[in-house]
Structure 1
């Protein structure tokens, strides 16, 4: 058995913004920008399709808003001269990572909005899809990382569960591509938490990438999914 991979903290801090910027390129490439195929033979099917896409659009809007709230807290931690320099540096690194992830969610908003309008339907409004942070959340870099990781995991599972119900192949392709990005976000954030804030001698890939599937596939001969993993505990 190979020993866990050791990542020097300084190298990790230097490389993570690059990792965050590149993590979703394959899932959000230009191939997704072609117009979705419209189907008009069944108005009820069109309505169901638009409703499902709007639900996913609301989820993407909430992610953008949630990251906006988290980034505001991180900026406060980063710019507070009374805090230790290492904490301020960590806040700056996490700010860069979460800024990249917020941009990915904004791209998802644009694409899902396009898909809903292609069905001659009205997209949900951002003001109707605000993120509500836990009321007891204490601002710290660790807590904000854990909250983002938990929310990305939940989002990836939720998106995965609705892919099969979409009636248009191009919509399934779009949503599956978005789901892949959400899962990448979750894994990067979990790795950051494990490396920077948990008491461990080294980064253990087995802990950062625990499941082979997003959702459970046991009913079709696969295995457990990410919903089997507990949320990261947030300090009160």
Structure 2
């Protein structure tokens, strides 16, 4: 089934399931889908049943939700649209990274495949969107990205590099932007204790490349554990 034959609602659910699996590495709970979409669990259950009937989703009663091969293909198409649109909005129309998620959500259902490919060509085939998420290729290939872990799991004293930041919390994105933090920023976990904010410090890396968000050197900032869990990082070896 071509993704354009699906309703916008079905497209949204498939993309949400993909996004959740991408962060959690496996099938997800229907409650997580409900939380992400802002829908009642009963509404989500009904939508999932229809996607199961269409051969796009695997879901048994009281079980987790996964995508079938056909569901993966459709989801990847929508993910590609969404992330290319986000990239275009930031790089060409000068949107900030906290503004593009909802805009891309609206546009992804309206643009044609031809426009998406034109955008891809214009941007010279980017592999990452503004939040560090991989942009699938036209053939559905997912670019290889470094192995990461949530910032909330990093021990105090470690130095890490930011790779991905969830676009679900626009307030956090604005806060990070204020401190110049984005994909590629190098941070040190200065303080981490239970039930207290995680204190981070922007540090200098001589290997920083053009285009990386290097942040405001030596500046400290704080995130709560929920926010830290929305940032994927990799360790930097001494």
Per the shorter chain, which TM-score range?
under 0.3
TM-score, normalised via structure 1 length: 0.23
TM-score when normalising by structure 2: 0.23
Q: Which has the higher strand share?
A: 2
